[in-house]
Copies of this chain bind each other. A is one copy, B any other.
Amino acid sequence: MAQAAQAPSGTRDFLADEVRRRKAAFATVSEVFERYGFDPLETPAFERLEVVTGKYGEEASQLLFKILRRGVHEASGKPDLALRYDHTVPLARVIGTHGAALPSPFKRYAIGPVWRADRPQEGRFREFVQCDIDTVGSTSPIADAEIVCALADGLEALGVERFRFLVNSREALRGLLEVYDIEASIGDGVLATLDKLDKIGTQAVAKELVDDRGLEMSVAERLAEDLAADDPGLIRAKLAASERGQKGMAEVDRLLELTAELGERIVFAPRMVRGLDYYTGAIYEVVAEGFPGAIAAGGRYDGLVATLGGPDMPACGGSIGIERILAIQGAKEIEAAGLDVALTVLGGEVELMSLAGRLRSRGLRVGTYLGSSGKLGKQIQWANARNARFTVLYGPDEQAVGEVTIRDMRSGDQTRVPVGEAPDHLARGVRD
């Protein structure tokens, strides 16, 4: 036997049970998104290199899987395509390509693999599924609220309980910086540091605000402490002093109002600062008991589609961290899909094939013994390994009188019935 080659680093082979589990999860989320009137979109696995170049920033660009030119151009050593890094750049490209043919607003979801040459580690893969939902072409707060509710329904349908949407707004955060007299030019950097509160703590954040962002220590400490307190009332009161802050709070409040059906599962969370600086309006992250980090996130990003090479259109969207959820849920028991009926083979192959056909036409999952052993014991072992509900025996005795013996693999009971009655009998047994 040749040396066993492995799947490429950071990728996975999905065997039967895992494929079924994943497909079911993707179908569950699709159904929810469809109920919200979102349509599926599928783009190619790769894009032209110029479509992705400069769209992801320096660090992310290093993680692109680039495809070498082909034929006589291969020797150049140069790439001209790159595997999809996310679903957002392809979305912007599609709006540019198909603009007029798309509904307006364009509400689409995408559930499919993306590829990133990250260093593989526990729970981080180079090929993984992203699950995105976006509305392009609407400034309505209802569009934001729909995304939030669709994400919430999606999480619930996936069996995630006790989750909470933490809502904030880029405008509110910028207003807060105004209140602390921090210049807009260093705002993104200050927010990037504040995003680390959970990770490194109040003191370290204050220090970084001074050392790296150039704030006065007194301002840095007050800001870090006020945010760390995570007191919506306190921040709300502060924001009243800034027009920008009030506008941001209005965005947050409108979103809370329009998603009132989520009750306490959605809250204003002043210290929730998303790292990505392309958001322009309300932003949110979803945390849940039993899951480290965020399991879903999103927000409004009115400038992004144009930045990514599409037309200038308002947009909002979010995504569910479905790989993370699948990984945690993987710990739970998976029910293996067995055969409904296993057919043993002791001669009479032609009649058995015909019987198999009739069973399958009733929707039963039927396997026929394909090994070379003529021993019944060995064939029953195979039926057991395939988790068969019933096994059919059709030996010389049965063949002589046109009957089959049906063994119930749970109870061990055996019944003998005419071949012609076997489909009814088995279909009933599987249904029960």
- Give chain B nearest CB distance to A299 CB in angstroms: 16
Contacting B at CB under 8 A, from A244-267, are 257-261
Contacts of A108 in B (CB 8 A): 16
CB distance B71 to A68 under 8 Å?
no
Q: Mark A140-153, 1 if CB is under 8 A from B, else 0.
A: 11110110010001
CB distance B102 to A15 under 8 Å?
yes
Q: How far is the CA of A258 from the CA of B259 in the complex (A)?
A: 61
CB distance B83 to A79 under 8 Å?
no
Contacts of A345 in B (CB 8 A): 140, 142
* Known pairs A1-B96, A138-B370; A258 contacts B353 (CB<8 A): yes
Other-chain residue from B81, B96, B260 in contact with A2 (beta carbon distance below 8 A)? B96
Q: Does A290 contact B (CB under 8 A)?
A: no
Contacts of A259 in B (CB 8 A): 353
- Give chain B nearest CB distance to A387 CB in angstroms: 10
Residues of A within 8 Å of B, CB-based: how many?
111
Contacts of A385 in B (CB 8 A): 103
CB distance A35 to B142 under 8 Å?
no
Given contacts A12-B44, A23-B40, A103-B385, 18 further A-B contacts (CB under 8 A): A1-B311, A2-B306, A4-B96, A8-B47, A8-B48, A34-B337, A36-B366, A37-B368, A45-B45, A45-B83, A65-B81, A68-B68, A105-B371, A140-B371, A142-B353, A142-B369, A143-B370, A153-B360
Sample (19) of A-B pairs whose CB atoms are under 8 Å apart: A2-B311, A5-B51, A5-B97, A7-B93, A14-B42, A16-B108, A19-B40, A19-B41, A19-B42, A35-B365, A36-B360, A68-B79, A139-B372, A140-B369, A140-B370, A140-B371, A145-B353, A153-B360, A258-B353
